[in-house]
Structure 1
Amino acid sequence: MVSTIERTVTADPERVWELWTTPDGIGQWWAPDGFRTDVHHLDLAEGGELLYTMTAVAPEQVAFMQQYGMPLTTESRKTFTEVDRPRRLAYTSLIDFVPDHEPYDHLTTVDLVAVEGGTRVIMTIEPMHDDEWTGRLVAGRTNELENLARLTAKA
């Protein structure tokens, strides 16, 4: 089943778009707590790619990754399927990090809606291959939106 996460942040859609679509912006909030994101390539166009690494840096996340035989740093690739500044961004993520599971593409759509006092961010997330991994993804994306909300509240 498709999951939807919504959060209102205290920045206008242009600022949220900038934080979501630039290497500097992504590096400030993208990673879930306990991870760091480093952007290596970004081509913001339909069919363009975002390549980045995410590294576990907090002890709990390091332990989790080691428990499941996953590397502490993983390279991730997203391909943009829709780019409509500053309203909508959609991308597929290559899911190639799940042990004993064949790689596959996973779609996320982000809608930015101007509201009084900021922007309503609506993330629509396709399910992953099972409920456990889908739950982990939704929890991670929820944490990311909390990071984005904290970042925009500081401005």
Structure 2
Amino acid sequence: MDARAEYVPADKANLVLKRTYDAPVALVFKVWTDPYHLAQWWGPHGYTTPVCEVDLRPGGIIRLHMEGEDGVRNPSNGVVKEVVENERFAFTTTWDDGDGKPMIELLNTVTLRAVGDRTEMTLHTQVLQITQELVPQLDGGMEAGWSESLEKFASVVAALKKAG
């Protein structure tokens, strides 16, 4: 890659989002880690995830290929770094330019905490590597994309809770 994360200003290299869901920790963890549920919410509005594979163990492969309304696929592949059931899930995601050249690598860490019958989730996304071309997109782009994904995530959690 053309740039290491140390060349990215610290306030843009790290994103922390917190959300609280009216659902038990086990359900929130399942929606994060089960490929069937993950495929329903991964990606911003207007994107689907036709390829979603998770080998849920440290060192396992994760494949999350988003597809926009224009039919363009954005393949992301990564590695599961940590799994502590109902507490923590950490994984990398790497997007390439379509020809196999990595453009950005992220470390995503999800921490869950029970608060009564609800779940407090903290998502920390850290830029590990990035090409110079993508650095300008860190200005709000990463936060907007994750925020839209988490809106979809909340809908999946609510529907599953309602279904019992």
The two structures have a TM-score, normalised by structure 2, of 0.76
Alignment equivalent of 1:138, drawn from 137, 140, 143: 143
| 2:96 alignment counterpart | 96
CA–CA distance in 1 between the matches of 2:43 and 2:102? 24
- 1:119 alignment partner, SS class: strand
1:41–1:50 contact (8 Å) kept in structure 2: yes
Q: Could you tell me which amino acid in structure 1 is paired with residue 120 of structure 2?
A: R
Cα RMSD for the two superposed structures: 2.3
Deviation per residue, 1:14-70 (Å, 9 max, x gap): 11111111111112211211000123532110010111321102xxxx3xxxxxxxx
CA–CA distance in 2 between the matches of 1:40 and 1:25? 9
| 2:7 alignment counterpart | none
Further displaced range: 83-92 or 129-138: 129-138
Unaligned runs of 5+ in 2: 1-9
Residue 36 of structure 1 pairs with residue 48 of structure 2: yes
The two structures have a TM-score, normalised by structure 1, of 0.80
Shift of residue 74, structure 1, vs aligned partner: 2.1
Residue 152 of structure 1 pairs with residue 152 of structure 2: no
CA–CA distance in 2 between the matches of 1:134 and 1:77? 23
Runs of 4+ in 1 over 6 A off after TM superposition: none
